[in-house]
Structure 1
Amino acid sequence: MDVKQLRALVTVAEVGSVTRAAELLHLVQPAVTRHIRSLEEELGVALFERTRQGMRPTEAGLIMIDRARRALMELERARAEVQPTPGAVTGIVTVGLLESAADLLTEPLVAVLAREQPGIELRLMTAYSGHLQQWLDDGDLDLSLLYNLASSPSLNAHPLVREQLWVVAPDSEGLRADRPVPFAQAAAHPMVMPASGHALRTLIDEAAARAEAGMDIVLQTNSLRVQKQLVLAGHGWTILPGVGIAEDVTDGTLSAAPLGEPDVWRSIVLATPRAGRTPPAVAVVARELARQVRAAVREGRWPSAQLLTSGGGVPGGGEAQGAVS
């Protein structure tokens, strides 16, 4: 098994065609076919089904493709680290961002790193916390923002922020930041909710139980943007973190108010793997991401958020600051 075989495997899987893979790899088609067949012979299993629609991975193929993709990524990262420009931090860093905070943090993070650390190749993935944690555990991410994670056997959690959840409605409802809405009052409206099993939905369900309030859930979705679109279209109200609706409230698209009776908060951490060394490039990105989070809170761009004190700081140094109102 060699790198050429793994590259052929991953490329064929991505494009579904040996011909197209050969073009991308700058090889002749028989060479790509030979790499795939020799790998299948070595493993003793078929990795693809040859169909009229193209090359379709088998169950064994899906396993190998996933592992091959990670192996190739690690080789790229190692090459970047051992062949650096003198005095520069280099490497590939894959970062997970919560969907709710992505709009706030992505551009500032990219801009600073492009200007100050051009040797770092940044790769960004956005999703909900549960998906990001799984990707971090699987080794697909180097670091990630997660919420309501105190610790886990595989991850270190560096506290950054706690923020309140907000009731969100069309602008015509006139919700205001200085007038919290009791949970029972919000629940009296049709509700557009995160799908069951989502960590945010768990927080909301726990609050509903404390308030002894039933919810008329008319729609469920796993997309924050879809939640907001459905509220805007008049299908119901919803509950979201303040950071996810700040721009919508500012531009008058939606109205929102802090959720009360009970208040509901989530804590956001910067999570990193416990095992292995932290590459310099990962440490640099972790520090900058934490700095961007703190700046957003201090400058009032992250509604109803409080900074948290971290006992150990982010990887490579850089303490989080004490809690503020």
Structure 2
Amino acid sequence: MPGPRSLRQIRAIIAVCEEGSFTRAAARENATQSGISQHVSAVENALGVRLFDRTPAGVTPTPAGQRYYRRCVEAIGLLEQADEEVRALAGAVAGHLRIGLMPTFTRAALTPTLQHFVGAYPDVRLQIVEAYSGILTEQVLADELDFAIVPAFEGRTGLKSRLILRDREVLISGRASGFKPLAPVRLADCAPLKIVVPGPENVRRRNLEVYFQSHGVAIDRIIEMDAMMATFDLIARTDFATILPGLICINDIGQGALVINTIDPPLYAEFIVITPARRTLPAPARLFLQRFEADLAQMEKRLAGLLKGNRKR
């Protein structure tokens, strides 16, 4: 009967499976490539099963390797959960909390949660990174963030995810576009749009392109821009428009130079929380997320009320 695996062997299996390379796994674990290879070979020899297929193009887990990887992740998670439970006995919430958010959330939704969290947990050191989904996903995979909130996507090895928000997208334009504020707009019936869209690596870009094609939306000109503040400034000054989740502009409805319209048929954006598969959320992250989700739910109710109430005018 094979003996128990060492923690280093378990971490080596996880790293190779997630990185797809002995070299990258070694760099991640601050080990040598030969050391990682030896750990993996030792486990394979003990089990009598090949866990990885090795080819010049890289390393891929076998079906047995995929199953073993999932169990290794569970084992590491249980150890981290035990650590968190013991820390909780001390009654103090402390540590370094690293969060990744898109501009969709930092522009309007973040501050209410921060106002509560900073006062309630003064011993937590907060680090908040604003970026788009591709960058945030890579940072979570590299264990540089405790969690990030990004548009829903197919998923990747090394990540855990769950749905946190389903938000209705809206058309945002300036006065020069000529849209009546808060009136529902059927984009297929509009003149060809001048539109600002995110870059091709952004998940929302693909969703927008599918919507335009399937609903016969004519496009006059496209500007790719992954810079939210510049996007808002451009559309306020020109006849360009953009389509964004309604949450980002909740404080702009009926205010200032921006015009907000619901679009018909409706388009929705789904957002997920992603975390490293090999880690358990630390207590500060769990507490922050609980408050953030509650605040998001309240803002979504407010947004729905604003859009519904103004459609009746």
Q: TM-score, normalised by structure 2?
A: 0.64
Instruction: Point out 4+ residue stretches in structure 1 off by more than 6 angstroms.
Output: 81-85, 301-305
Cα distance, 1:295–1:285 mapped onto 2, change above 3 Å: same
Match of 1:286 in 2: 289
Query: How many Å separate the matches in 2 of 1:296 and 1:238?
Result: 21
Residue 120 of structure 2 aligns with an amino acid whose one-letter code is: E
Say if 1:187 and 1:193 are closer, same or farther in 2 by CA, change over 3 A. Answer: farther
The change in CA–CA distance for 1:97 and 1:302 in structure 2 (over 3 A counts) is: farther
| Matched ranges for 1:4-43 at <5 A | none
In 1, Cα distance between equivalents of 2:95 and 2:306: 34
Deviation, 1:206, is 0.6
Gaps of 5+ in 2: 1-31, 33-83, 309-313
Which of 95, 98, 113 in structure 2 is aligned with 1:91? 95
- Residue 222 of structure 1 and its aligned partner are, at CA, apart by 0.8
Worse-matched range after superposition: 133-142 or 146-155: 146-155
After superposition, where does 1:90-239 map in structure 2 within 5 Å? Answer: 90-149=94-153, 151-171=155-175, 173-177=178-182, 179-186=183-190, 188-239=192-243
Structure 1 residues without counterparts, runs of 5 or longer: 1-42, 44-80, 306-325
Alpha-carbon distance, 1:302 to partner: 9.3
CA contact (8 A) 1:169 1:175 kept: no
Residue identity opposite 1:145 in structure 2: I
CA deviation after TM superposition for structure 1 residue 150, in Å: 5.7
Cα distance, 1:304 vs. partner? 6.7
Paired residue secondary structure (1:122)? strand
CA change 1:218–1:112 in 2 (3 A) is same
The Cα of 1:245 is off from its aligned counterpart by 2.2
CA contact (8 A) 1:169 1:232 kept: yes
Q: Distance in 2 between matches of 1:269 and 1:155?
A: 11
Contact 1:171/1:255, CA 8 A, preserved across alignment: yes
Indicate the structure whose relative CO is greater, using CA pairs within 8 Å and at least 6 residues apart.
Answer: 2
Residue 250 of structure 1: how far off its partner (Å): 3.0
**Is the Cα–Cα contact under 8 Å of residues 250 and 303 in structure 2 kept in the other structure?**
no
Matched residue type, 2:116: V
- Offset from partner CA, 1:64-116 (integer Å, 9 cap, x none): xxxxxxxxxxxxxxxxx999994211110101112112122222222211221
Name the % identity. 18
What is the root-mean-square deviation of aligned Cα atoms in Å? Answer: 2.8
| Range with bigger deviation, 222-231 or 212-221 | 212-221
Measured at CA, do residues 267 and 163 of structure 1 come closer, stay the same or move farther in structure 2, by a change above 3 Å? same
Q: Is the 8 A contact 1:168 1:256 kept in 2?
A: yes
The one-letter amino acid paired with 2:113 is: L
Does the Cα contact within 8 Å between 2:247 and 2:299 map onto a contact in 1?
no
1: CA distance, partners of 2:190 / 2:306: 19
Match of 1:241 in 2: 245
1:100–1:243 contact (8 Å) kept in structure 2: yes
The Cα offsets for residues 250-302 of structure 1, whole Å up to 9 and x where unpaired, read as 313211211223x2111112222221333222222222222222232234489
